[in-house]
Chain A
Amino acid sequence: MDVFSLAAETLVTPIVLSFVLGLFAALVRSDLSIPEAVAKGMSLYLLFAIGFKGGVSLADHGIELTLGLTLLAGVLLSAIIPFVAYAVLRLMSGLNALDAAAVAGHYGSISIVTFVASTSVLESQGIMYDGYMVAVAAAMEAPAILSALWLVTRTKGGGTMEPGLWREIMLNGSIVLLIGAFLIGMITGEDGLKEIAPLVIAPFKGVLCLFLLDMGIIAGRGLRKGRGVLDAGAIAFGIVMPMIGAIFGLGAAMLLGIPLGSALLLMVLSASASYIAVPAAMRVALPEANPSVYLTLSLGVTFPFNLVIGIPLYLALATVAIGG
């Protein structure tokens, strides 16, 4: 199969089309909505399932040096990408230094939903990936926040990292559940997976579809409300920056020599932007930065781009660079 057929095939899937449906519903102002508690329940399920399966996979293959090196690469990518994002954003848009630094922090961190959608694409294509990539995803959440705060301190002063905030970031519910489920999977291995397979495997893609339907609705509403907040340069940044991040991720994957599936996941992690952990941290540490700017960019522009165009594009790129 050539790379274009591969890209086309990953586009026409229930997951992507569910997201597009949600996006469409929000843009045409339909009253379609997923109840808050249901969305929360689905997000807990997805985090548990992806963490658990990652742990089982690691238990099967054992801990290798590559795991440590990939974790380190993930932390470095998360810390470095905000500096690149800041420079690109200042070049492309009229955003002030404070908003640009806050946005930059989001692009160094990750979107776990984009990561989960990518694992689903890999599974449907029969491409293997390393289970420890779940741990890499968790490790890439926080370093970007420190980089963003450093950027603010350097450019205009302000930005505080109080001790309580650090604990909240490192121990936020999503990270605890993801890493906790990963450890449970690692400890119980294949036997544990057999016991709960009807919960963590069979319904996974269906739940992911519904969750992405909700994410499409939220992204569409954000996009609608964000009109006028972003200039053309900032919107272009929301599309260009993930591709730059993906190239950084690909470079790191090639240096590490990790296989195609894991390389794609590292690219996706580097390309995606946070819309849960980093916005919360920014509201505490940089309350003067405009949340409409960074949320509209990460959730309204970059998230849909990555899900619909980015993932197949990165997969095609990785296939050419690394080989399938």
Chain B
Amino acid sequence: MQTHKAKRVDITIEKIMLSRLTDAIEKADVSGYSILPVFGGSGRSGAWTREDNIGRGDGMVQVVCIIKPGRLDALLDSAFEVVDRHIGVVTITDCEVLRAERF
């Protein structure tokens, strides 16, 4: 089957920053993304789990975008303005998609 090259960007960020990040993603003309809950983890600020959260902004979420390679720089520039000072991880991986026109 014919496949097409794409980039997958995973951004793990504090939940409180989520709406700011999705605004930035949309500003970069990326309309498709998925938001996944993160159940817990550990980092420089120590270990945490969702069970220990009491506030609306506690915890982390992961935003996954799959885009055409040519749109990567615009997305990263826009997203970086949000994630720059904050806890989180940004990863970029090569992937392939079946329907290129959707990305």
Interface residues of A (CB under 8 A from B): 33, 36, 39, 164, 172-173, 215, 218, 221-222, 225, 229, 275-277, 279-280, 283-284, 287-288, 290-292, 299
The 8 A CB mask of B40-77 against A (1 = contact, 0 = none) is 00000111101111111110000000000000000000
B52 & A221 in contact (Cβ 8 Å cutoff): yes
A292 & B52 in contact (Cβ 8 Å cutoff): no
Assembled-state Cα–Cα distance A283/B58 (Å) = 9
Given contacts A283-B14, A284-B17, contact A292 B45 (CB under 8 A): yes
List of A residues within 8 angstroms of B57 by Cβ: 279-280, 283-284
Interface residues of B (CB under 8 A from A): 14, 16-17, 20, 45-48, 50-58, 85-87
List of A residues within 8 angstroms of B48 by Cβ: 225
Shortest Cβ-Cβ A-B pairs, 9 listed: A280-B57, A276-B55, A287-B85, A287-B86, A283-B16, A221-B52, A280-B16, A280-B55, A33-B51
A279 & B55 in contact (Cβ 8 Å cutoff): yes
Main secondary structure of the interface of A (DSSP, over half): helix
A36 & B53 in contact (Cβ 8 Å cutoff): yes
Q: Closest CB of chain B to A101's CB: distance in Å?
A: 16
Count: A-B pairs, CB below 8 Å: 48
Q: Closest CB of chain B to A212's CB: distance in Å?
A: 12
Assembled-state Cα–Cα distance A287/B88 (Å) = 11
A173 & B56 in contact (Cβ 8 Å cutoff): yes
List of B residues within 8 angstroms of A284 by Cβ: 16-17, 57
Which residue in B45, B47, B54, B56 is a CB contact (below 8 Å) of A275? B54
Q: Closest CB of chain B to A243's CB: distance in Å?
A: 24
Assembled-state Cα–Cα distance A277/B57 (Å) = 9
Question: Which of A39, A275, A284, A292 has its CB near the most chain B CB atoms (within 10 A)?
Answer: A284
Assembled-state Cα–Cα distance A276/B48 (Å) = 16
Assembled-state Cα–Cα distance A291/B56 (Å) = 15
Given contacts A284-B16, A287-B86, contact A292 B55 (CB under 8 A): no
B49 closest partner in A (C-beta): A221
A164 & B52 in contact (Cβ 8 Å cutoff): no
B51 & A287 in contact (Cβ 8 Å cutoff): no
Q: Closest CB of chain B to A36's CB: distance in Å?
A: 6
List of B residues within 8 angstroms of A221 by Cβ: 52
A172 & B56 in contact (Cβ 8 Å cutoff): yes
A287 & B54 in contact (Cβ 8 Å cutoff): no
Given A229-B46, A279-B58, 17 extra CB contacts under 8 A? A33-B51, A36-B50, A36-B51, A39-B54, A222-B52, A225-B47, A225-B48, A275-B54, A276-B55, A280-B58, A283-B14, A284-B16, A284-B57, A287-B85, A287-B86, A288-B85, A290-B45
Given contacts A280-B16, A287-B86, contact A225 B51 (CB under 8 A): no
Question: Which of A36, A222, A277, A288 has its CB near the most chain B CB atoms (within 10 A)?
Answer: A36
B17 closest partner in A (C-beta): A284
